[in-house]
């Protein structure tokens, strides 16, 4: 009998790709707002409802649900939504497991590299460092706390928190937004361009989740970030180089981004480096540790297919 894995956040770029990666060895179920496939089960976080049959005989939950941080301006309501979509969803799972008297082998939760704060420094953060003190680090601290509850309340043997960097994918996310402007010759770095941008290739982040599922020694927080560090400016230049496009336009001034995005601009204008040593110490090997090769894979090889 295959073990059952539930994946939340079915609409996100990681969920379906990860499911394909593990579906030969596990039975995969999705928790989603609207059922579209046979293995989809509905839940509604705002109403606190869930199809409880989704959790029958479940061994692992990979919790990827969470509203997109950079999609909209951070109004008071949006800030509540960013926290609630992560914390209340975990709470609903916890309550349902308790009710059904189910103990998981593992609860694996998405988390954010913004745990360390949105700040540009020369420090390279490790998992032992304390959280920052801005809104994004507050979101991540609450997010991780809601994951830790599963172990503290004896509903999971282990809890793994994947502190995710900017995921580079052709389908969605930062790269999809950056490529068109660079293709049309209007791409440019943001602010000073010197802010670090921790990044990871979509294939590597999916492999980290697979490793977290299979490696029973993995427990606690892990930085899911490529070992090669880059700045916003360098990433912009490397994309242009891979696409063989010139960059003419000067950097977008910080004040323009603040006018457009409000407080969210801080997340675009600041960023620190984070170490991938802990995940590598588990034996995990990055397939795309090099930024240029990662971009070539996503922007050239995918097109050739």
The 3-class secondary structure across the chain, one letter per residue, is CCEEEEEECCCCHHHHHHHHHHCCCEEEEEEECCCCCCCEEEEECCCCEECHHHHCCEEEEEECCCCCCCCCCCCHHHHHHHHHHHHHHHHHHHHHHHHHCCCEEEEEEEEEHHHHCCCCCCCEECCCCCCCCCHHHHHHHHHHHHHHHHHHCCCEEEEEEEEECEEECCCCHHHHHHHHHHHCCCCCCECCCCCECCEEEHHHHHHHHHHHHHCCCCCEEEEECCCCCCEHHHHHHHHHHHHCCCCCCCCECHHHHHHHHHHHHHHHHCCCEECCHHHHHCCCCCCCCCHHHHHHHHHHHHHHC
pLDDT at 229 > cutoff 70: yes
The span from the CA of 137 to the CA of 113, in Å, is 9
pLDDT given at position 186 = 73
pLDDT at 166 > cutoff 60: yes
Give residue 214's domain range. 3-232+261-304
Q: Residue 280: what are its φ and ψ, rounded to 5°?
A: -70, -30
% of residues, the chain, pLDDT over 70:
93
Do the strands 199-201 and 166-168 form a parallel or antiparallel pair, or are they unpaired? parallel
* Domain contains 130: yes
* Domain contains 291: yes
* Domain contains 249: no
pLDDT at 261 > cutoff 80: no
CATH of the domain at 201: 3.40.50.720
Candidate from 64-68, 158-162, 189-193, 301-305 with smallest mean pLDDT: 301-305
Nearest to 141 by CA among 172, 171, 112, 180: 112
Average pLDDT, the chain: 90
pLDDT given at position 305 = 42
Nearest to 189 by CA among 232, 159, 132: 232
pLDDT given at position 263 = 67
pLDDT at 304 > cutoff 70: no
* Domain contains 252: no
Structure tokens at 12: 């996100």
Average pLDDT over residues 280-289: 97
* Domain contains 239: no
* Domain contains 198: yes
* Domain contains 46: yes
Nearest to 12 by CA among 85, 116, 114: 85
pLDDT at 158 > cutoff 90: yes
The span from the CA of 198 to the CA of 167, in Å, is 9
* More confident call, 18 vs 121: 18
pLDDT given at position 302 = 54
The span from the CA of 79 to the CA of 18, in Å, is 28
Nearest to 55 by CA among 155, 205, 172: 155
Q: Are 28 and 72 in contact (CB under 8 A)?
A: no
* Domain contains 254: no
Nearest to 96 by CA among 58, 144, 39: 58
Total count of domains within the chain: 1
Q: Are 6 and 31 in contact (CB under 8 A)?
A: yes
Per-residue pLDDT band at 293 (split at 50, 70, 90): very high
pLDDT tens digit string along 60-89?
999 999 888 877 888 899 989 889 999 999
pLDDT given at position 192 = 78
């Amino acid at each position: 009998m295959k073990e059952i894995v539930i994946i939340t956040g079915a609409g996100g770029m990681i969920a379906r790709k990860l499911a394909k990666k593990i579906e030969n060895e596990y039975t995969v179920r999705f928790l989603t707002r609207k059922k579209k496939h046979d293995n989809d089960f509905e839940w509604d976080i705002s109403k606190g409802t869930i199809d409880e049959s989704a959790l029958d005989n479940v061994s692992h939950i990979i919790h990827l649900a969470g509203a997109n941080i950079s999609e909209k301006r951070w109004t008071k309501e949006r800030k509540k939504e960013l926290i609630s979509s992560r914390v209340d969803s975990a709470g609903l799972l916890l309550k349902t497991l308790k009710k059904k008297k189910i103990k998981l082998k593992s609860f694996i939760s998405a988390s954010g590299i913004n745990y360390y704060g949105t700040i540009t420094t020369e420090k390279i953060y490790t998992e032992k460092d304390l959280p920052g003190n801005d809104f994004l680090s507050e979101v991540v601290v609450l997010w991780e706390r809601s994951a830790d509850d599963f172990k503290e309340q004896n509903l999971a043997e282990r809890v793994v928190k994947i502190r995710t960097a900017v995921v580079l994918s052709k389908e969605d996310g930062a790269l999809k937004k950056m490529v068109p402007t660079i293709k049309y010759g209007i791409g440019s770095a943001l602010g000073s361009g010197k802010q670090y941008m921790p990044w990871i290739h979509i294939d590597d982040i999916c492999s980290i989740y697979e490793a977290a599922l299979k490696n029973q020694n993995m427990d606690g927080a892990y930085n899911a970030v490529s070992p090669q560090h880059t700045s916003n400016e360098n990433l912009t230049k490397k994309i242009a180089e891979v696409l063989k496009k010139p960059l003419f336009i000067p950097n977008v001034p910080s004040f323009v981004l603040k006018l457009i995005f409000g407080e969210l601009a801080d997340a675009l204008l600041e960023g620190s480096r984070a170490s991938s040593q802990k995940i590598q110490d588990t034996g995990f090997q990055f397939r795309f540790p090099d930024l240029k090769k990662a971009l070539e894979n996503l922007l050239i090889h995918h097109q050739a297919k």
